[in-house]
Structure 1
Amino acid sequence: MTALSPVPAYPWPQGKASAFCFSVDVDAHAPWLWANRADMPRLLGHHEQRSFGPRIGMPRIAALLAAHGIKGSFFVPAIVAETHPWMLPALVDAGHEVGLHGYFHELVAQVSDDQFTHFLEGAIGLFQAQTGQTPRGFRSPAWEMTPHMLAECRRLDLYDSSLMGLETPHSVNGVTQIPVSWSTDDAIFFKFLGGGGDMGPPLGTDAVYRAWTEELQASRRYGTLMMLTVHDWISGKAVRAQMLDKLLGHVTASPDIWIATAGELAAHHRAHAPERDALTASLPESPLEHPAWKDA
């Protein structure tokens, strides 16, 4: 097979043509805490917006999934679970997957390797204490990874769902990877906090619904995974939940789509395609070190 040969179809189970995963990054107030860790503000506005998630967004999203018979993957920062101790047990009792999403939603570029390991192990301990289970999956805050983070996921036998080098499950540096996609993340379309820091007003649901149904159609055509990622405080809003209801209706009405959690996708890949698409990720050298630059 040459580099330009058609990509072989991914071996989805039961003769399915593609896969769909409903994931939730349950950020709630964690990014606010991390961003303001050195100087906690006196203002309530942003914190209250994010608090909508655990209060209303999470129950609303859970009810929506139950109505469609879908199990989701909820990636929860440990501080959110610590603040709302009902959350992880309730999700597990409802049959959903709970995965790691940092301790404080700490950003990769702002912590050392040792700090990352400390926070990761602390989050695992909290999940074990609250659920009696060891989490099997990790998703990095802001979807960024380093070689050290991958090595730690491998050491702890965690799959990762943070990168987007392929459109189907694969492995990166020996870690099973369940890819994400910015184009099917609600934050880039709807996130709006106010206060002058936003890039622009949020899009209406009609435009996003059209884009995501096109994503679903393309996923079925090319046999890929459509990883939908929503946030508790964003898509828990009534009009966006209404849009998700319509979208999930399309998903469940399509018998050729395998609806799975990220954990189920990882387990399937390890069992049925462990040698397929095994990638090695490393950072290239700086252009300043390239001979073409040095000779200039």
Structure 2
Amino acid sequence: MATEPRLSVCLTFDFDALAVHLGIFGTQDSQSLSRGEFGPFAMPRILKLLADYDIVATFFVPGHTALAYPDVLRRIHDEGHEIGHHGFVHEIPATLDETTERKVFDLGMEALQKTIGVRPRGYRSPGPEFSPHTIDILVENGMVYDATLSGSDFTPYYVRQGDTVSLDSVFQFGAPSSLVAIPFSWDLDDWVHLEFTAEWGPGKPCSAVEEIWRAEFDYAYANVPGGVFDLTMHPQVIGRGSRLEMLRRLIEHMSSRPGVVFESIITYAERWRNAHPLEQWRQEASVHVRERNGGPAIHRED
């Protein structure tokens, strides 16, 4: 019987290219778009680094990127990496009405299927922010996992469906769905640390980011056996030389620990779901499973 990995490392890349500047930042000027264009430019060196260590990664790709750079996307896919859904033009679902959000989801899916013939089974929200309808859309479309939510750090959980939010009454908890949450953290995202924007200011030095990421990994390895370390990167950010060398050092550090595996999110999510059937997990879980009145679903004596 195979031994479960001590810790799974999922290197993920949001291949936004032009879409993030068109979608979130709402700009069409050539300088801003050229920053996005650095993503496909840097992709060969990113893919080489992954190949050097025989790592299968996950790339979340907006439909717009798939149609703009089909050759790059096909190379990513042909080299064995997972492709996940990431909107169409990097629209933030929280800003969309339900009809528009469903249209955008379908457009993104169609673009990926047209380009590489693959229907993604995982999703990361652009932004990343959900609307009240996002979880319903993901469940209806058969997504296995979402890599957007932050209800834990290194421990997956099943996403609740049907939460009711109110500012003047008790929060109403929904029921766990079939959708597996792979935790996301801004601390483990390269954009907020390294990329200059008018809103966030200048980036940090690579040494500071390396220290944060290494410390988070070391904690997960020591304290969360069977967990997942989801590192979120953007080719236009991580693809610069000094940053790729930082990533190389981190890969060397992580791979030196016994029981660490590098794998795609879909591989991890399916193994976790098989090991934690929903109904069994509902009996064992604590904070992520609640009664409609806000209390714990199951009372246990500690």
Give the TM-score of the pair, scaled to structure 1.
Answer: 0.84
Deviations 1:206-251 (CA, angstroms, capped at 9, x unpaired):
1111111111110101113211111010000111001001101112
Alignment match, 1:89? 74
State yes or no: 1:34 paired with 2:23: yes
The answer as to whether partners of 1:73 and 1:97 remain within 8 angstroms in 2 is yes
- 1:67-216 alignment to 2 at 5 Å? 67-158=52-143, 159-166=145-152, 167-173=154-160, 174=177, 175-193=179-197, 197-216=198-217
The size of the alignment, in residue pairs, is 266
Structure 1 partner of 2:12: 23
User: Which position in structure 1 is the counterpart of 2:172?
Assistant: none
* Cα distance change, pair 81–18 in 1 and its aligned pair in 2 (3 A): same
8 Å Cα contact 1:58-1:232 kept in structure 2: yes
CA distance in 1, matches of 2:260, 2:236: 28
Query: Which 4+ runs in 1 deviate beyond 4 A?
Result: 280-285
CA distance in 1: counterparts of 2:148 and 2:80, whole angstroms: 23
1:259 corresponds in structure 2 to 262
Deviation at 1:191, TM superposition (A): 1.2
Please report how far the alpha carbon of residue 283 of structure 1 lies from its aligned counterpart in structure 2 after TM superposition. Answer: 12
Following TM superposition, by how much is the alpha carbon of 1:200 offset from its aligned partner in structure 2, in angstroms? 2.6
> What is the aligned counterpart of 1:229 among 204, 227, 232?
232
User: Helix, strand or coil: the match of 1:24?
Assistant: strand
**Deviation (angstroms), 1:17:** 2.0
The code of the aligned residue for 1:124 comes to: M
Q: Deviations over 1:62-101 (max 9, x none)?
A: 1111111111000001101110111222111101000000
Tell me the CA shift for residue 36 of structure 1: 6.0
Secondary structure of 1:249 counterpart? helix
Alpha-carbon RMSD across the aligned residues, in angstroms, is 2.2
User: Following the alignment from structure 1 to structure 2, what is the Cα–Cα distance between the partners of residues 30 and 87?
Assistant: 15
Tell me the SS of whatever aligns to 1:121. helix
CA distance 1:272–1:283, shift in 2 (3 Å): same
1:20 is paired with a residue whose SS is strand
Structure 1 unaligned runs (5+)?
1-12, 286-296
Give the 3 Å change call, closer, same or farther, for CA 237–82 of structure 1 in structure 2. same
Q: Distance in 2 between matches of 1:273 and 1:22?
A: 23
Instruction: Please tell me whether the aligned partners of residues 103 and 120 of structure 1 are also in contact (alpha carbons under 8 angstroms).
Output: yes
Contact residue 17 and residue 257 of structure 1 kept, 8 A: yes
SS of residue in 2 equivalent to 1:143: coil
What is aligned with 2:46? 61
Looking at structure 2, the residues matched to 177 and 215 of structure 1 have their Cα atoms a distance apart, in angstroms, of: 19
Instruction: State the identity as a percent.
Output: 29
| Superposed displacement of residue 16, structure 1 | 2.4
Distance 1:116 1:269 in 2: 29
Contact preservation (8 Å) 1:103, 1:119: yes
Structure 2 gap segments, 5+ residues each = 161-176, 295-302
The TM-score with structure 2 as length reference comes to 0.82
> What is the aligned partner in structure 1 of residue 174 from structure 2?
none
- Aligned to 2:3, the other structure's residue is in SS state helix
Q: Deviations over 1:146-166 (max 9, x none)?
A: 341111111111021110102
Please say if residues 170 and 269 of structure 1, whose CA atoms lie closer than 8 Å, have aligned partners that are also in contact: no
Deviations 1:90-132 (A, max 9, x none): 1111010000000010012321111111111121112112112
Q: Does the CA contact (< 8 Å) of 2:63 and 2:110 recur in 1? A: no
Distance across 2 between alignment mates of 1:230 and 1:207? 16
Distance apart, 1:180 and its partner CA? 1.1
- Report the 3-state secondary structure (helix = DSSP H, G, I; strand = E; otherwise coil) of the residue aligned with 1:212: helix
Take 1:132 and 1:282, find their aligned partners in 2: how far apart are those partners?
42
For residues 240-266 of structure 1, give each alpha carbon's deviation from its aligned partner in whole angstroms, at most 9, with x where no partner exists.
001001101112222222322111121
1:48 is matched with which residue?
A: 34
